[in-house]
Every structure is written in C-alpha cells, then in structure tokens.
Amino acid sequence: MMSFYFSRLVEIYPFFFTGLWMTCKIAFISLFTCTILGFVLGIFRAGDNKILKFIIGIYVAFVRGTPFVVQIFIIFFILPEWGIQLDAFPAALLAMAIMGSAFICEIVAGGINAVPKGQWEAAVSSGLSFVQQLRLVIVPQSMRVILPPLVGQYVLLIKDTSVVSVIGVMELTRVGWVTVVRIPEGLMVFSLVGILYFSISYPLILLSNYLEQRMAVK
C-alpha cells in the first residue's frame, strides 16, 4: 500500500515544486521588504524623536504580542469590511512584512544602541550628515550585533510563511494539505514538506551559527 502511495507521490512531485517555489517567492520578497522596513523602523526606534519612538514601540508591541494567524485573518478578512480588498498573495506578503519588520526593528534598534554614544559624537563633530553618520559609522559597527540574530530571524520568517496557507496561498504547506486529501499517507506527505523547508532553512541556520562565532571573536 505504502509503495502505491509513494509512486503516486512521485507522479505529483511537480506539484510540490510549485509549492516550494511559492514559499520561496513569499520568503524572498518578504525578507527583502522586512529588512528594509525593519532597518528604517529600527533606526528611528533607536533615535532621539520621542514621538516616533513611542509610535513604533506600540506597533512592535502589538505585532509581537498577537499571533501571526490572527494578523493574517485581520488583513484578509477584516480589512475588506473597510473597503481594502486584497488577494491572498498580496495579503500574505503584507502580513509577513508587518510581522517581520517588527521583529527586525527590535534587532536593529538593539544593534544601534550597542554602538557607544561617542561614535555618534565623533561623526557629528566631523560634519557628516545624519545619513552619512548612519551609513559610514554607526550601521557598520552595529552589524556585528545585528547580523547573527537577523539571520536567525530569517529562518523563523521562512518557517512562518507556512502560516499563510490558512488563507489559501498555494505554498508548500498548503500543497501538503491538498495532497494528503488524495494520498492519505500523512507522515510521508508532511515528511516531504518538512524536508523541503529544512533544505531552505538549514543553510541559514549554519550561516547564523557561523556569524555568531565570527562576530563574537573581537
């Protein structure tokens, strides 16, 4: 029986690759937007403007304090009631961007706060503009602190893309769901799903470990 299902699974393997491709697409696009958004938010969160700091603080607290599934439901099912109708794919990307940027914001703010105040003062005194201070002096130094947890966060975000299956995006986890209906061999199907996730995450886990060791040396 098992081998019968296995051969059927082999028959439909391209289906899994379309799922994997969708997962990669969501992961790649959202990691990109999360990183940019997270850095911008993190820079202001670590900055001097108290109002901005406070607003970003609320945003981060709210996003970190609610389950990701709930956030997706709000975006996909509640926003339409206010006239904002999104398809599943853009809704998934938006949800990922909001959730990921909040976590990355905290990592970036922590890294920037770890740079001694004197570095800002030296950069200010030499006449560098605010953007130059960040780009040339502060961010390069804070990367040592930011990079290891950032890559770790990437792994979490990639795995969190599985949650967007709840709104019908045909990514890897959804493919597993759909397949298991036709091939009732759950362990086999979801092992395959798991292995495919692992094949994306594991290199990043290794990278994170490597960075952690390298950055810790100095």
Distance of closest approach, residue 37 Cβ to other proteins, in angstroms: 25
Burial of 46 (0-12, 13-18, 19+ CB in 10 A): buried
Residue span 141-180 as binding mask against other proteins, x where in contact by CB under 8 A, dash where not: x---------------------------------------
Contact between 49 and other proteins per CB under 8 A: no
Give the three-class secondary structure for 37: helix
Pair 211, 147: CB distance under 8 Å = yes
Of positions 140, 184, 194, 203, contacts other proteins by CB under 8 A: 140
Build a one-symbol-per-residue string for 68-107: x at contacts with other proteins by CB under 8 A, - elsewhere: ----------------------------------------
Least Å distance between CB 50 and other proteins? Answer: 15
Q: How far is the CB of 136 from other proteins (least distance, A)?
A: 6
User: How many chain residues interact with other proteins (CB under 8 A)?
Assistant: 18
Tokens 């290891």 locate to 148
When the beta carbons of 11 and 121 are compared against other proteins, the nearer one is 121
Site for other proteins in 105-134 (CB under 8 A): 116, 118-119, 121-129, 132
Q: Name, in order, each residue with C-beta under 8 angstroms of 8's C-beta and a sequence gap of 6 or more.
A: 182, 183
The one-letter code for the residue type at 148 is P
Min CB(124)–other proteins separation in Å: 7
> What phi, psi does 94 have (nearest 5°)?
-60, -45
As a whole number of angstroms, the distance between CA 168 and CA 87 comes to: 10
* CA gap 26, 161 in Å, rounded: 7
Closest contact distance (angstroms) between CB of 143 and other proteins is 9
Residues 6+ apart with CB under 8 A from 38: 100, 101, 102, 103, 104, 105, 107, 108
Residue (128 or 188) nearer to other proteins, CB: 128
Footprint on this chain of other proteins (rule: CB under 8 A): 116, 118-119, 121-129, 132, 136-137, 140-141, 218
